[in-house]
Amino acid sequence: MTIEEKIEKAEQRIKELQLLIRHWKASHASSEHVALELIEGLVSDDYEREVA
């Protein structure tokens, strides 16, 4: 496996772990509204990072 492949695999794993953490945070939120705001904010952050 090349260094580029290792980096790609690691980046994919990081994304998977971040998604899992978001799921846990949203499921632990005190209300559906708070969970939705949390998820929307994180999705917005992802979009901004992808654009940059």
- The pTM of the full predicted model, rounded to 2 decimals, is 0.56
Q: What is the pLDDT of residue 52?
A: 55
User: SS3 helix, strand, coil % of the chain, rounded to 5?
Assistant: 90, 0, 10
Q: What are the sequence ranges of the domains in the chain?
A: 12-51
9: Cβ–Cβ under 8 A, 6 or more apart, which residues? 1
pLDDT 10s digits, 1-52: 899 999 999 999 998 888 888 778 777 766 777 667 777 776 666 655 665 5
26: Cβ–Cβ under 8 A, 6 or more apart, which residues? 35, 38, 39
